[in-house]
A and B are shown apart, each in its own frame.
Chain A
Amino acid sequence: MDWLTPEAWSAVVLSLRVSLTATLVSLPLGVFVAHALARWSFPGKQVLNGLVHLPLILPPVVTGYLLLLTFGRQGPVGGFLDQCCGIVFAFRWTGAALAAAVMAFPLMVRAIRLSIEAVDPGLEQAAATLGASRLWVFATVTLPMILPGILTGAILAFAKAMGEFGATITFVSNIPGETQTLPSAIYAFLQVPGGEGTAIKLVLVSVAVAMAALLASEVLAARMARRLSGT
């Protein structure tokens, strides 16, 4: 792999790892929150909706700084996690994953929520009259029908995580090999004389990953839709 310098290569690998981790770990929570927003009525629903969407509207730097305040070693949550379980986010790749997950969360929830709202509640009622509890209704009726939506949400979140820059660099800085993701690396190479060549190569990698993710999701979604409609 001498097409890319080792430093640039590690940024690509790190970005993939950060984005995959962020997507997979936040997915169950994303499905849960989307389901709550789509189907339940409870006090504070609008507050939850606002919180979920906040990272979409706030400047990424603000989100990153809030993460640092909360999840940094001195922060209330970060300090607790460090002492009780030895989990540290600040200036680690896990922090980059957390930042990516938070920034991608609104996109993920939105896609899944739309697909849940498209499921006819009448089917869920029918399942209930046939003896299925709420959990069973979700597992056997709702979940199989929203798989394409979940996939779309996951791909969107992955793509967003691959491109996350502002919150990441604010929260975990730009440490090569630890927190230097693809966008941070492109930014860093552009700051040094003669770095444009590597930066352009990274841009190409970035475009290729995004396109591949998009194509894969199209193919999978079409296959799932065919299976669901049963034709």
Chain B
Amino acid sequence: MSLEVAVRHRFPGFALDVAFTAPDGVTALFGRSGSGKTSVVNAVAGLLRPDAGRVVARGEALVDTGARLWRAPHRRRIGYVFQEARLFPHLSVRQNLLYGRWFARHGGDGPEFDHVVDLLGLAPLLSRRPATLSGGERQRVSIGRAILSRPRLLLMDEPLAALDEARRAEILPYLERVRDEAGIPILYVSHSVSEVARLATTVIVLDEGRVLRAGAAEDVLSDPFSAASAGIRGVGAVITGRIDTHHSDGLTELSTSSAQIFLPRVAAAVGAEIRVRIEAQDVTLSLTRPEGISALNILPCEITDIRRGEGPGVLVRLRSGADTLLARITQRSAERMGLARGTACHAVIKTVSVAPEDIGRRG
């Protein structure tokens, strides 16, 4: 278990009371703004001193109010990537990168400077000052600076939230590389479903200072209950598959546990395992296998749950092979088709409805 957190803290008008454990890999703290995500991360970093609680990282206690233990932030060896990069303006990019490394010089093994510079594509920036960098470049430097301080754990507090869509798409592949190659557990704060679906192995959903759901990313993200807390619009499920063929008409064919599916060209090699997030509102249900239809992806499914929300919609949870899918349809359709738990049906997904930012490499 790489991180155990149990903290209680009372802010004016807000109470935080969370407990969870995070395994290796990327654990996403997910929830709306104001749900307490940043406070949890600050408690782990030592920037917030909780009223009561315990934080243990890789077997070492950082806070234990019961035992009157408090380790100062600079003795925790926890890399923190802030939303606004927080680079030191009076130092060059190289000096920023080496800042934490100098304090951790006796800290044993860690990634090599050149390796991190390669990983994040920082070589052309080394002699520049932070003021001359773009938002995306700044955030890459900030990630490199954190990794180079030889942390036992990385915290990322909405590292992409301050960036526009294009910059986000530029950084996400770097984050996937960090996840896959740096070998450091990451606690990742986000309120973006597509980021969490792409990066996280474990998801913890926070709401009003409490843990609402915790578990494997695929399960939590396709759970209608946690979907509701994420805001119904962004609901979707994550399915995994392996790339079979890149077709000449611009499509990539994937084999999933239940069927072959087609996606817009995916930038990964044949044989690569990828994760695809399918939004619930892009899934159409049919009781018989549809014929003469333009949609390319038809997955045989079984209904495992139907959840009525407010308004005219229902959220249907489906099992398709080993994967879970979510479909958002009207209550009228559900009644007309006589959908119920256990009903066999087909999920229809248009290839072009899958957005590129919802496709990522599997960690």
* A191 within 8 Å of B (CB atoms): no
Closest A residue to B155 by CB, please name it: A129
Q: List A47-73 residues whose CB lies under 8 Å from chain B.
A: none
User: Shortest CB–CB separation between residue B90 and chain A, in angstroms?
Assistant: 5
* A141 within 8 Å of B (CB atoms): yes
A contact residues, range: 20 to 34
Known contacts A129-B73, A144-B90: A122-B129 contact under CB 8 Å: no
> What is the CA–CA distance of A226 and B78 in the complex, to the nearest angstrom?
33
Contact between B86 and A128, CB atoms less than 8 A apart: no
> What is the CA–CA distance of A120 and B87 in the complex, to the nearest angstrom?
11
* A131 within 8 Å of B (CB atoms): yes
Known contacts A122-B84, A123-B88, A229-B89: A132-B103 contact under CB 8 Å: yes
Known contacts A132-B74, A230-B129: A127-B90 contact under CB 8 Å: no
* A213 within 8 Å of B (CB atoms): no
User: Shortest CB–CB separation between residue B300 and chain A, in angstroms?
Assistant: 50
User: Shortest CB–CB separation between residue A119 and chain B, in angstroms?
Assistant: 10
Most chain A CB within 10 A, of B45, B47, B92, is at B47
Number of residues on chain B facing chain A (CB within 8 A): 31
* A231 within 8 Å of B (CB atoms): yes
Contact between A145 and B82, CB atoms less than 8 A apart: no
Closest B residue to A126 by CB, please name it: B86
User: Shortest CB–CB separation between residue B363 and chain A, in angstroms?
Assistant: 24
> What is the CA–CA distance of A131 and B79 in the complex, to the nearest angstrom?
9
> What is the CA–CA distance of A137 and B88 in the complex, to the nearest angstrom?
11
User: Shortest CB–CB separation between residue A166 and chain B, in angstroms?
Assistant: 41
User: Shortest CB–CB separation between residue A78 and chain B, in angstroms?
Assistant: 41
Which residues on the B side are within 8 Å of A230 (C-beta)?
Answer: 89-90, 92, 128-132
Contact between A228 and B89, CB atoms less than 8 A apart: yes
Closest A residue to B47 by CB, please name it: A125
> CB-defined interface of B44-79 with A at 8 Å, one 1/0 digit per residue?
011100000000000000000000000011111111
Which residues on the A side are within 8 Å of B222 (C-beta)?
Answer: none
Contact between B103 and A145, CB atoms less than 8 A apart: no
> What is the CA–CA distance of A122 and B73 in the complex, to the nearest angstrom?
13
Most chain B CB within 10 A, of A131, A133, A134, is at A131
Contact between B145 and A145, CB atoms less than 8 A apart: no
Which residues on the A side are within 8 Å of B86 (C-beta)?
Answer: 120, 122-123, 125-126
> CB-defined interface of A118-155 with B at 8 Å, one 1/0 digit per residue?
00101101111111111011001100110000000000
User: Shortest CB–CB separation between residue A45 and chain B, in angstroms?
Assistant: 20
Q: List B266-323 residues whose CB lies under 8 Å from chain A.
A: none
> CB-defined interface of B75-102 with A at 8 Å, one 1/0 digit per residue?
1111110101010111010000001100
Contact between A130 and B100, CB atoms less than 8 A apart: yes
* B226 within 8 Å of A (CB atoms): no
Closest B residue to A143 by CB, please name it: B90
* B149 within 8 Å of A (CB atoms): yes
CB within 8 A of A229: which of B46, B78, B131?
A: B131
CB within 8 A of B104: which of A127, A128, A131, A137?
A: A131
Most chain B CB within 10 A, of A126, A134, A136, A231, is at A126
User: Shortest CB–CB separation between residue B48 and chain A, in angstroms?
Assistant: 11
Which residues on the A side are within 8 Å of B99 (C-beta)?
Answer: 127, 130, 132, 140
> What is the CA–CA distance of A128 and B82 in the complex, to the nearest angstrom?
13
Most chain B CB within 10 A, of A123, A126, A129, is at A129
Which residues on the A side are within 8 Å of B72 (C-beta)?
Answer: 128, 133
Which residues on the B side are within 8 Å of A123 (C-beta)?
Answer: 86, 88
Contact between A145 and B89, CB atoms less than 8 A apart: yes
Which residues on the A side are within 8 Å of B132 (C-beta)?
Answer: 230-231
Contact between A130 and B90, CB atoms less than 8 A apart: no
Closest A residue to B84 by CB, please name it: A122
> What is the CA–CA distance of A144 and B130 in the complex, to the nearest angstrom?
15
> What is the CA–CA distance of A231 and B90 in the complex, to the nearest angstrom?
10
Which residues on the B side are within 8 Å of A141 (C-beta)?
Answer: 88
Contact between B100 and A131, CB atoms less than 8 A apart: yes
User: Shortest CB–CB separation between residue A171 and chain B, in angstroms?
Assistant: 41
CB within 8 A of A130: which of B46, B84, B131, B149?
A: B149
> What is the CA–CA distance of A129 and B149 in the complex, to the nearest angstrom?
9
> What is the CA–CA distance of A109 and B149 in the complex, to the nearest angstrom?
35
Which residues on the A side are within 8 Å of B82 (C-beta)?
Answer: 122, 126
Contact between A128 and B73, CB atoms less than 8 A apart: yes
* CB<8 Å pairs between A and B, sample of 19: A123-B86, A126-B80, A126-B82, A128-B72, A129-B45, A129-B73, A129-B76, A129-B146, A130-B103, A131-B149, A132-B103, A133-B72, A134-B74, A144-B90, A228-B89, A228-B90, A229-B89, A230-B130, A230-B132
Residue positions of B touching A, CB distance < 8 A: 45-47, 72-80, 82, 84, 86, 88-90, 92, 99-100, 103-104, 128-132, 145-146, 149
Residue positions of A touching B, CB distance < 8 A: 120, 122-123, 125-134, 136-137, 140-141, 144-145, 227-231
| A127-B99, A129-B45, A231-B131 known, 7 other contacts, Cβ within 8 Å | A122-B86, A129-B146, A130-B149, A136-B103, A144-B90, A229-B131, A230-B89
